[in-house]
Structure formats: C-alpha cells, structure tokens
Amino acid sequence: MDTLKAIQVFVSIAQHGNLTKAAEHLNYSRAMVSRYLEHLEHTFSTRLFQ
C-alpha cells in the first residue's frame, strides 16, 4: 500500500473530523479510507485516532 497516499488520507481525516467526510473529499470509498488508516496504524504500531 502507498504510504504517501495513506498520509494524505490521514491529513484529510484530521481536517474533516471523520472518515466519511474525508472519503467524500478524496473521492474514495469509506472502506478505502479505513484501509489506508489501518495501514498507517500498522506501520507506526499505534492507534492514530481515538
């Protein structure tokens, strides 16, 4: 999975406040946004959002 895209998704989630709005902004499915977030959480071995 592309880590740079995952970081862009992370920033979008932070800016928009939730996965659904970030997905709409990025024109991705909510499931894809969730997968990118899971990729980053696995990469950094930590939960990124509460």
What is the three-class DSSP state of 22? helix
- What's the pLDDT tens digit per position in 13-46? 999 999 999 999 999 999 999 999 999 999 999 9
- Angle, CA 28 vertex, CA 22 and CA 31 arms, to 5°: 85
Tell which residue, 20, 16, 22, has the closest CA to residue 5: 22
- Measured between alpha carbons, how far is 41 from 25 in angstroms, rounded to an integer? 21
Quote the pLDDT of residue 1.
86
- Measured between alpha carbons, how far is 9 from 41 in angstroms, rounded to an integer? 12
Confidence of residue 8 (pLDDT cuts 50, 70, 90): very high
Q: Is the pLDDT of residue 50 over 90?
A: no
